[in-house]
Chains A and B, each alone.
Chain A
Amino acid sequence: MPTLNHYLVLSAVLFSIGTAGVFLRRNLITLLLSIEIMLNAVNLTFVAVGRYLGSVDGQIIVFFVMTVAAAEAAVGLAIVIALFRHRETLNPDAFTSLRW
């Protein structure tokens, strides 16, 4: 049987991969995908700890995190489309001014 620590370590590794993605990539879509990886790492922690404590609340929180992730993806991608329309690029380094 995998113990709680197995899940927590896996979640830590995934969260760090997501962080590395946010630092390393120069593509707004990949940045959003990295954020999704981080959210899912946290979700795994919630479910594992909820299972460990014998509480349903872990799964409930994951449900809310998923809802927020859906809203974030919709708004984030809309912003990406609006930015791409202005600059024809997805490189975040190209967007340095607040208005143009």
Chain B
Amino acid sequence: MDLIVFYILATVMVLASLLVVGQRNPMYSVLLLILSFMALSALYVQLDAPFMAVTQIIIYAGAIMVLFLFVVMLLNVPREEPAAPDPTRPFIGAGVRRLGLVLSLALVVELVWALRRLGSAPLGAEAGELSSVRAIGRVLFTEHAFAFEVTSVLILVAMVGAVVLARKEA
């Protein structure tokens, strides 16, 4: 039963991600990516990580993707122009791009082959403390307290940077 749910979610995720990459209209890409993130959050639930599932929806689908949607609508460039061949720049064009596709396929074959050799490792039957927000909070604010504080500085810097970059005459 769990396996069937996993396969359904995995299929949704892979198909949505493929369509994100294959889509010429960035608007549809963003919406499909939100679908993919929904499936991923369901996978987190299956992995006994409900906190991560909720965070995935709130932060990724709710904040980051809305930011992307804002920019797509603001810039209003719905379609990607077809590539114009340029003999003076040989590293830009369809041939090189096809090579990139081959490299990506090689990457997936290699990774899947390497993982297949691992044999199958069953996940532990009991999740125990893992799925509780209390356990996550305790570790986050004791062992990783410094990293957590640095994160707030990072967000501040990103905020200031975004404002400076997007200003009129930056």
Contacts and interface: CB of A to CB of B under 8 A. Distances in A.
A100 interface: no
Contacts, number: 238
- A: interface residue count bin: 35 or more
A57 B122 CA distance: 19
Interface in A22-76: 22-27, 29-30, 32-34, 36-37, 40, 43-44, 47-48, 50-52, 54-57, 59-60, 62-64, 66-75
Interface in B151-170: 151, 154-155, 157-159, 161-163, 165-166, 170
B4 to A, nearest CB: 10
B122 A6 contact: no
B52 A21 contact: no
A47 B49 contact: yes
Contacts of A15: 107, 111
Contacts of A12: 108, 111-112, 115
